[in-house]
Structure 1
Amino acid sequence: MLLRPALLAASISLALAFALPAQAAKAPAKAASKAAPSEPTLAHNLSEDNAARLAELISRFHAETGQTIKLVRLERGDKPATLNLISRYQMSDTLSQPKDFVPLHSMMQKAGEKLSLSLPEVLRPGVTDSRGKLVALPILYSTPVLFYNKNAMRKAGLDPETPPKTWFEMQGVLDKLQAAGYDCPYSSSWPSWVHLDNVSAVSGTPAIDSKGNLKFNALPQVKHVAMMATWTKARYFRLYGHTDEASQQFRNGQCAMLTTDSREYASFQDARGVELGVAPLPYHDDVFGGRRPSLANGPSLWVGAGKPAAEYKVAAKFVSFLLSPKIQVELVRHYGGLPLTEAARKAASSELLQDGRQMLEAAYASLQGKAEDTGIRLANIDRARLIADEELDAVWNDKKPAKAALDTAVSRGNAVLATHPLMKKSQPF
């Protein structure tokens, strides 16, 4: 049936009256979709307190730039987030999955963000490629040092301002601490990192050669591990675990001395009954060539692959935010990481409290000198590190002699690396 012209016009007008509002309602939604900000993610596995501090940092970044970053937990097996704060014990996954990450310098360049960072030489291993370009940000790098309780030193009749410089001197100090009533004169967190990676480096015999082969069964390492076995029998040394368990024992005043990462000073600020002292990692004074530098390592910031350009743009701005001198000082104060620039180091030295300045002085003194650093860390190769921890336990529990245990650790570890060659590198690119 044909409609008359007047009726047809009325019908069209009525249809438009209903159709146009619907189209108008859809238009703002489309515009809102285009305007929605890209929110990159930052994955981490920090403690509750440190995660809260990181959230505050993200809030400040938002206040200054208007950009947001979402914090998520870093879980093994998950695809990398836009930014990933990766600890040394998670580096195996990074090394074995190079396609899941992109170099930091590449992201910064594509995002149009300048990366003019002159990183100190001691902080470059593991985060720079063969051309010296930055592939990750060593945001919380540190080095092992000797923490000690000055109150315990006084109780033992020792000068609290004169900590032991060598392992030989330390034995006499531990004897007096034990006589003063300390059941735990000395302990260590991260035993493989401290007593294999770093004792090897300080002795001038790297734990791993430049080709990624484990070599920590030479005479200096055997003598050191055997010495620690005698200290265990004498109850000078007590081992509480393979990560940072010993740090809690120092924090509560149970242990008088502790070797661990310099960045842990931040968690010792409110230690009960502890007046904090810090000194460079002790060394063996009978090795050829004298004391060499210790190693730097720790949580570093890596960029996940396959993210939208808009996310990378925000992530690049956040990296620049982290590199500002003011934020660098706060990272030292709250997390204990080593400053990434000379300007930040000077600012930190002038603005930190006494304990913080002592930590920086001890850390840099420990890192000083000509290094034989391959950039490859036993502590970064999780499977080899677990084997080394197991063999160290066997020595310190009087089940194996030091030489046999270290030979076994090297043999077993190299067998693992032979089937996982990507882990024999200092960085994945």
Structure 2
Amino acid sequence: MPPRLPPRPPPRPAAKPATNAAPSPSVSPDFEISHNLGPEGEKYVQAVVDRFNKETGGNLKLGRLEKNERPAGLNLIHPYEVSDVLTQAKNFIPLYEMMSKAGQPLNAGDLSGDLKAGVVDAKGRLVALPVAYSTPVLFYNKNAFRKANLDPDKPPQTWFEMQGMLDKLQSAGYSCPYATSWPVWVHIDNVSAVSGLPSITEKGVLAFNGLPQVKHIAMMATWTKANYFRHFGRGAEASAKFSSGECAMITTDSREQADFRDAKGVDLGVAPLPYHDDVYGGRQNTLADGFALWIGAGRSAADYKQAAKFVSFMLSPEMQVELVSVYGGLPMTAAARAAARSKLLKEGQATLEVAYGSLKGKGAAQSRHVSDIDPVRIIADEELEAVWANKVPAKAALDTAVSRGNAVLAAKPALKKSQPF
């Protein structure tokens, strides 16, 4: 996801929300929503919390969830960097259970099927709310295309077609024709999915070293040697390079449209993640992932009533449209998607349509993602970086990553689960 995550600020005390109404004395004075967002996301969530408190008379506070800390009453979490937290069922209660006890309606059937990865149990019940999910797409600078005499309305559909465009962009003076944020999420999880292959099986066995994946990473290695592809880091570091105009194309989460749309000198274009047209079965779906709202265990009935109010607040069409327009997440329900279509600006509408077109209604087909399992993602990043540095061939790197990662999962089988219940 990532949101996946922008760089994280150091821990600090939660800001006090503004409120015009005194909270009920039966509600804990320290009832908190914790998160592992970056600084921009934190500012936005603080504004949402302030608005909730003002409209409902709540006393919700914002704080950070750090490693090895007990979850708060509400937790807006992406598994990135805290995947171990979500393996401990004792720390959470399922969302559907909390809503039922609080007497608030919750219909899992209303939720977009694309957004259910990691947040439903075996019976299809919602255990968490996918508040800010997104899927990888290709963003490109139409101004760069014009400079390279490329048609700005015809982005590449395949990786092979993209290679020819990168050569022209380089010849036009771009030192960074292409970059990627979240390499494991994009080039392991989603390139595998688009090729019709799982990166990790439903039994929790890593499987991203097949021939299509090896060929893809080998292609990226040749692009690195030719300076078509620039590697800037394991997270969202490349996004700033695209926003500045240094990089002409980037693969990253669809939600970053909200960050790129005002970038100076960037005429934003968006297209589906490219695919390999020589893979059997043709183009398949991408995956959805991101931040979900998890409910902490061991709180009072009054606390859970406030938590249920917040969930209902986030599910309102008005708030969902705001989440899409301000943060770039995917609408959680069909009604919110329709409302977003009518209210978003042109670029936002295009990104939303590309994202849902890429998911094909199957965004939750693979419930577990390599990029969500911290120790395995770190291993995969290490091996990919060895390929980018021309130290190890693609096949050897992926074989090693799968072997090392499976050893970690065998030692910590709880990490194989997509959700704690």
Does TM, scored on the shorter chain, surpass 0.5? yes
Q: State yes or no: 1:77 paired with 2:58.
A: no
Task: Indicate conservation of the 8 Å contact 1:163/1:279, yes or no.
Answer: yes
Q: Deviations over 1:250-276 (max 9, x none)?
A: 011110000001111111122121011
Residue number among 159, 164, 179 corresponding to 1:167 in the alignment: 159
Kept after mapping to 2: 8 A contact 1:183/1:254: yes
Equivalent AA in structure 2 for residue 89 of structure 1: Y
Confirm or deny that 1:306 pairs with 2:295: no
Alpha-carbon displacement from aligned partner over 1:202-256 (angstroms, at most 9, x marks no partner): 0011101110000000000000000000000000000000000000100111100
Shift of 1:50: 2.6
- Report what 1:114 is aligned to: 105
Matched, 1:38 2:23: no
Decide whether the 8 Å contact of 2:288 with 2:364 is kept in 1: no
Secondary structure (helix, strand or coil) at the match of 2:41 reads helix
Give the letter aligned to residue 102 of structure 2: A
- Structure 1 residue 369: Cα displacement: 6.0
Letter aligned with residue 269 of structure 1 = R
AA aligned opposite 2:68: G
TM-score by length of 1: 0.90
**Aligned-residue offset at 1:33:** 12
Q: Distance in 2 between matches of 1:235 and 1:41?
A: 47
Contact 2:116/2:364 (8 A) holds in 1: no
Contact 1:126-1:427 within 8 A present in 2 as well: yes
1:175 counterpart SS class = helix
Confirm or deny that 1:398 pairs with 2:390: yes
Name 2:85's counterpart in structure 1.
94
Q: Where does residue 227 of structure 2 map in the other structure?
A: 235
Structure 2 distance, partners of 1:100, 1:310, is: 18
User: Could you tell me how far apart the structure 2 residues matched to 1:422 and 1:236 are?
Assistant: 39
Amino acid at match of 1:423: L
SS of the equivalent of 1:67 reads coil
- Rounded to whole Å, the distance in 2 between the matches of 1:35 and 1:79 is 23
Residues 65-92 of structure 1 deviation map (CA, whole Å, 9 limit, x = unaligned): 1112110112111100011111131452
Corresponding residue of 1:291: 283
Contact 2:137 2:253 in 1 (8 A): yes
1:54 correspondence with 2:35: no
Shift of residue 35, structure 1, vs aligned partner: 3.5
Paired letter, 2:348: G
Tell me whether 1:66 sits opposite 2:54 in the alignment.
no
Q: Cα distance 1:332–1:201, how it changes in 2: closer, same or farther (>3 A)?
A: same
- Contact 1:206 1:372 survives alignment (8 Å): no
Aligned: 1:278 with 2:270:
yes
Is 1:248 matched up with 2:222?
no
Report how far residue 332 of structure 1 moved. 0.6
Gaps of 5+ in 1: 1-31
Runs of 4 or more, structure 1, over 3 Å off, are 32-39, 369-372
Partners of 1:141 and 1:296 within 8 A in 2: yes
1:158 aligns with 2:150: yes
Bigger radius of gyration: 1
Residue pairs, 1:13-32, within 5 angstroms:
none
Matched, 1:139 2:127: no
TM-fit CA distance, 1:371: 6.8
Q: Tell me how far 1:412 sits from its aligned partner.
A: 0.2
Give aligned-pair identity as a percent: 62
Alpha-carbon spacing, 1:55–1:192, altered in 2? closer, same or farther (3 Å): same
1:85 partner SS: strand
Q: In the alignment, is the contact (CA less than 8 A) between 2:156 and 2:274 conserved in 1? A: yes
AA partner of residue 46 (structure 1): L
Give the whole-Å Cα distance in 2 for the aligned partners of 1:178 and 1:357.
Answer: 30
Residues 136 and 273, structure 2, Cα contact 8 Å, conserved in 1: yes
User: Could you tell me how far apart the structure 2 residues matched to 1:33 and 1:215 are?
Assistant: 51
Q: Does 1:380 align with 2:375?
A: no
Q: Distance in 1 between matches of 2:393 and 2:24?
A: 67
1:418 matched to 2:410: yes
User: In the comparison of the two structures, how many residue pairs are matched?
Assistant: 398
> What are the ranges of 5 or more consecutive residues in structure 2 without an aligned counterpart?
1-21
Tell me the SS of whatever aligns to 2:105.
coil
What root-mean-square deviation, in Å, do the aligned CA atoms of Structure 1 and Structure 2 show? 1.6
What is the rounded CA distance, in whole Å, between the counterparts of 2:94 and 2:82 in structure 1? 15
Q: Which segment is superposed worse, 38-47 or 182-191?
A: 38-47
Partner of 1:368: 360
Aligned partners of 2:26 and 2:302 also within 8 Å: no
Q: Distance in 1 between matches of 2:113 and 2:215?
A: 30
Letter in 2 for 1:412: R
Contact 1:88 1:297 in 2 (8 A): no
In 2, Cα distance between equivalents of 1:34 and 1:246: 46
Q: 1:120 offset after TM fit, Å?
A: 1.6
Q: Describe the SS at the equivalent of 1:141.
A: strand
Relative to the length of structure 2, the TM-score reads 0.92
